[in-house]
Structures are given as C-alpha cells and as structure tokens.
Chains A and B, each alone.
Chain A
Amino acid sequence: MRDLLLFQPDVVSALARGLWVSIQLIIPSSLFGIVIGVFVGAMRVYGNTAVKKIGDAYVLIFRGFPLVVQLFIWYFGLPYIGIYLTPFVAAVIGFSLCSGAYHSEYVRGAFLSVKTGQMLAAQALGFSRIKTILFVTLPQAFRRALPGCGNEIIYLIKYSSLAYMITCIELTGEGKIIASDTFRYTEAFMVIGAVYLVLTSAAAWMLRRLENRLHIPGFEQYG
C-alpha cells in the first residue's frame, strides 16, 4: 500500500499544487464564459443585422477552431504582434472565449423560448428595450439555459487540462510530470482522472442546487 503513488508526500503536494492551479483556471473562465455567453446570446437575438452577424461570426470561429489551436494562438501567436501573455492569462482568455461561444448557443435558444407577448406587455408598460431584456426576458432565459450552460461548465472543467499544452502546469501537467518521473503512467493518470471526476461531480451538485434555488412554478425542467 505504502508504495502507491497517492501516498507519497511529494506526489500529493504536486497534485494539490496542480489542483489549485486548475481551480484558479476554471472559476474565472466559467464566470467570464457565462457573461460572454449571455451578452453574445442577447446580441444574436435582439441585435440588428450587423450585431447579429458579429455574434454569429464569433461563435463560428471560437466554436470551430480546435481549442488547442486557439490556446497556441493566444500564447505562441500573439507575441508576433508584440502581445505577451502569461500562460495562465492566455489559458483563461482561451477558455472564456471558447466557453462563451457555446454558452451563447444555449442562451440564444432560451431567449427565443420566451413568449414575445411578454416583450409587448413590457413595452406597453413603458419599458425600454434594454430594460425589457434585463428585467423580463433575461431572468427567464437564464433559468431555461441553466441546464445547458451547466453542461458546458462540466466540459470546461475537463478541457482546462489543455492549459498544460501552453506550459500552464495545472493538474494534468503535474500528473504528466509525475508519470514521466516514475514511469507509472496508468496509476498517475488514474489518480488525475479521479480528481477530475470529483471536480465535475461537485460542479454538477452545485449546479443542481442552483437550479433548485432558482426554480419557479411553470419553469419545470424535464429530463
């Protein structure tokens, strides 16, 4: 038993260090991603033609490019035009923008599902367009988008492992170092995988709680 990787102090501290970096990547990226997603989703539903096109183009590119390629561009590409990002900042930017593109799809669908009559009613009361979106459609759309957005956050937790490709050594990066130092690949990556499983399970639990907290009669989620 004592021979297991998991019980060696230097391995544990390396994993803890990696986990901490991962969490620091995941939390801001998921928050920025949601904000971008709501903003772009609203642009794509309520904007004029030009604004819609900009939103569509953003989604096309950031959903279409492989995430690793996006990270390489942020980290290795930008220095060519004189912009130097730290690995951490490059990863957060890359994750947020990619995640935001996916979120915007869920948010867009949710905005479209709010009955147009409610917009008319708000306008008839004297609401401006912005206020109508902010106080009438967004609170409803957010609730309807939540299950989809939660799914995207779970994905984000896992694709945050790509950060080590641009030398931001997080959980997977530490795992790879341990594995190549010890040559115990299976064991090392099983442990890493299990830690991600714990992270995604915790996120799923928190998202479910949030859904329940925001629950309103008439907004039942099925499935």
Chain B
Amino acid sequence: MADTIPILRIEHMTKRYADKEVLKDASLSIDKGELKVLIGPSGGGKSTLLQCINFLIKPDRGRIWLDGREIVRTKGKDLYEYRQKVGMIFQDFNLFDHLTALNNVQIGLVRVKGMHGSEAKERAVRELERVGLRDYMDQYPAELSGGQKQRVSIARALAMDPEIMLLDEPTSALDPELISEVLDVIRALRADGMTMIMSTHQIGFASELADELLFLEDGIIAETGPPAKILYAAESARTREFCSKITELYGSSST
C-alpha cells in the first residue's frame, strides 16, 4: 500500500475578503481513516479552510481532489453530489428547528438521495442508534441538550454515507460536562475508520487521537506534524507558545 492516493487533497487554497487574506495558499492531504486536527487561534482561518473544502465558501484559488478525482465543476448537480460525500459538522449544530431528531437525519436521505420514506426512516433510526439517541428520535431540537443536538447533527451527516467528515469546532458551543459525550462519538467514528478533518481547542483529545496536527494562524498552515512534535517540540516559537497556553486550558479534558 505504498502508493495509495490520498482520499482528499487540497492545494494552494486561498481566500480573500476585501482587504484581508483569510486563507493563504493552504495545502494538505489526508489518507483514508486518518484524523487531522486543525489548531490555532480564533480567526486564524480554520473555519474558512473547512468551509472552502466543501465550497460553502468559494475559494478564490485552489484545487481539490477527492479519491484522486479533481473537483472541477463547483456548481449544480456535481457540487451537490460532491457535498454528499463530504459530511460537515458545525460549531452551532445547525439542526433544522422544525424537524424532530429523526426527521433531521431523514430529510437528506429523502430530499437529496431520493430514498423512500420507510427505507430512509430505517436508516435514520440506525444512525441515531449509533450516536446513542434512539430514544430521542421524536424530540425537536428545542427539546434537546447541546450535546444531544451535536450528536443528531453527526447522525445526520453520517446518514449521507460521507467519505470524509469535516468537523468545525464541534464542542466549542457546549457546556463542559456535555463535551465528552460528543468526543466519545467522534472517538467511535475514528475507531470505525472514518476519515476526518477537525478543528478544535480540545488539545488533549487531539493529542490522543490525531494522526497529525496542523497549526493554522493568519490564514497560513504554519506548522504540521504528529501531536507529540507540535505540542512539545514545535519548530516555531509561536506554535510552542500557542500549544502551551492551550494545553494549560484544555489539556486535561480529553475524556
């Protein structure tokens, strides 16, 4: 397996808003089953990078390959099909407020994949079971806790059979005691071999599970490497400074 193609590769991704370049020439590639974690200060470009990967933000420049095939057309049907293969988890969950947990998971299967109601329901129930929320399938988002909402949103993304998942600070909007239930789900996904790119401040979790950390600041991927290196032996002083601060804050809350 020496020459496997990366499942996702991006090159020279650049995004500029008016007078500020929020993403500068970012490149990365990830193999099947890997977990890469983006760390760095807020406003450093982590969200922009993740949202450029599925074109929720249109990058000014940059190329993307999924499974070795370049994504050329970023419009219409081709775009919708590509996005189904790239699951996305948001900091604020973004559940559909008018739908029950079950229907949140089901709606993509029915409206995007064109699946039949009963088949879609079966699948949705299975995905909710996977995140431990089978008993909550008839609840509306307003009736769920933050941790439960985030788990529903993970089930919703999984139902589409993504090849890779992008997680944009999935625990940042959660109360401290709800973080672990979401991290547990992500840990289980990792064990199942899901490929993931995740931005987070949960440095303990990242150092335990990530194959690689990417330190992103001012729109630049400043340093890349295995967790042990980035956290304890980073080359740049700035990376070391950030990592020591964040380890102090979040280091112990990995479980």
Contact = CB atoms under 8 A, between A and B. Distances in A.
B143 A121 contact: no
A124 B97 contact: no
Contacts of B108: 125-127
A135 interface: yes
A217 B94 contact: no
B140 A123 contact: no
B140 A216 contact: yes
Interface stretch (A8-16, A24-32, A112-120, A165-173): A112-120
Nearest to B92: A117
A124 B111 contact: no
B135 to A, nearest CB: 17
A123 B57 CA distance: 11
B231 interface: no
Contact of A128 (B80, B94, B156, B160): B80
Interface stretch (A63-71, A72-80, A89-97, A136-144): A136-144
A82 interface: no
Contacts of A124: 54, 56, 83, 86-88, 90, 157
A125 B94 contact: no
Closest 8 CB pairs of A and B: A218-B142, A121-B94, A117-B94, A124-B88, A126-B84, A125-B108, A126-B80, A217-B140
Contacts of B95: 118, 121
B83 A125 contact: yes
- For A115, A122, A124, A127, the residue with the greatest tally of chain B CB atoms inside 10 Å of its CB is A124
Contacts of A53: none
Contact of A120 (B56, B80, B81, B107): B56
Interface of A: 114-115, 117-118, 120-128, 131, 135-136, 139-140, 143, 216-219
- Interface residues on chain B, size class: 20 to 34
- For B92, B94, B143, B156, the residue with the greatest tally of chain A CB atoms inside 10 Å of its CB is B94
Contacts of B86: 124
B188 interface: no
Contacts of A219: 97-98, 142
Contact of A127 (B51, B90, B111): B111
Contacts of A115: 92, 94, 97
Given A126-B83, A127-B112, 7 more contacts: A117-B94, A121-B95, A121-B153, A131-B111, A216-B97, A217-B142, A218-B97
Contacts of A217: 140, 142-143
Interface of A, helix, strand, loop or mixed by DSSP: helix
Contact of A117 (B80, B84, B90): B90
B106 to A, nearest CB: 11
A36 B142 CA distance: 31
A176 B90 CA distance: 63
A123 B83 contact: yes
B232 interface: no
B157 to A, nearest CB: 7
Interface in B79-122: 80-81, 83-84, 86-88, 90, 92, 94-98, 107-108, 111-112
A36 B111 CA distance: 25
A219 B107 CA distance: 20
Given A128-B80, A131-B111, A218-B141, A123 B56 contact: yes
Nearest to A214: B98
Contacts of A143: 98
A110 to B, nearest CB: 12
A126 B81 CA distance: 6
26 contacts: A114-B97, A120-B51, A120-B56, A120-B90, A121-B90, A121-B95, A121-B96, A122-B96, A123-B56, A123-B83, A124-B56, A124-B86, A124-B90, A124-B157, A125-B84, A125-B108, A125-B156, A126-B80, A126-B108, A127-B80, A127-B108, A135-B107, A136-B96, A140-B96, A218-B140, A219-B142
Interface string B33-62: 000000000000000000100101000000
Contact of A131 (B92, B112, B143): B112
